[in-house]
Amino acid sequence: MKRSALALLATTLVSVAFAVTSLHAEDKIPLKTELPKPLFVGTPVPVKVDNLEPARSGKRPDFLISASSTNLALKKPVTSSDPQPLLGDLDLITDGDKDGSEGSYVELAKSTQWVQIDLGAPATLDAVLVWHFHAQARVYLGVIVQVSDDPDFITGVKTLYNSDAKNLVGQGAGKDPAYIETYEGRLIDAKETKGRYVRLYSQGNTTNSLNHYIEVEVWGTKAK
């Protein structure tokens, strides 16, 4: 009798565990975002950068996010280390337009610059997508993406991505690969990091010393 009861209990626990696992699996869906048209212009220039990620063939693999996840950055306010961009307005970075032609991107000054998005409330983040410039095959240098609940990024700073191997930006040396810009943008795993503010650094690119942003998406779920 005891054995039967134990067997029944074991079966029940296995069923519950399977149900919970299935629930979590069903709670994830592929991230779907509208991509701009490819826009390479002119003759490609060979790119030579340390720790450069190999070119990928085929479409980007599906990336799973929470079913409740949305683009929290859309239409949210943007600030920058360069408050008066050379081209464009900062609100272009979260306006939903990913076209790579002039008039759709922001051009910031030389050297290290950052842009920062206020999501409006703390959130659990699944992914960050960034389009710097995709009309030419180029690499942006010192790319760092950080999250914090502190708008000044002094405390509680969490780094999601850092390709600044030589610590030129001053946020610590990173081991993430540099990459060539494409119309797909760069998808960065946020690993369910929590925070309200997202800051993105860069330090020029392999074509010139300026910094550019077309669009940034931040996929996640607001804290309840």
Per-residue model confidence as pLDDT tens digits over 65-95: 999 999 999 999 999 999 999 999 999 999 9
- Beta-strand runs (E) in the chain: 28-30, 64-66, 70-71, 78-80, 106-108, 113-131, 144-148, 158-162, 186-202, 211-213, 215-222
Give the domains, in start order, of the chain with CATH numbers: 31-222 (2.60.120.260)
| Largest separation between any pair of C-alpha atoms in the chain | 80
Per-residue model confidence as pLDDT tens digits over 181-213: 999 999 999 999 999 999 999 999 999 999 999
pLDDT score for 153: 98
What is the distance of C-alpha 158 from the center of its chain?
Answer: 13
pLDDT score for 180: 94
Sequence-distant (6+) residues with CB within 8 A of 213 are 92, 93, 105, 106, 108, 115, 130, 131, 132, 200
Decide if pLDDT at 26 tops 90: no
Kindly report which listed range (25-34, 94-103, 109-118, 146-155) carries the lowest average pLDDT score. 25-34
pLDDT score for 16: 46
The amino acid sitting at 113 is Q
Decide if pLDDT at 46 tops 50: yes
CB 51 within 8 A of CB 177: yes
Between 15 and 82, name the one with better pLDDT. 82
Report which of 33, 24, 122, 116 is spatially closest to residue 71, judged by C-alpha positions.
Answer: 33
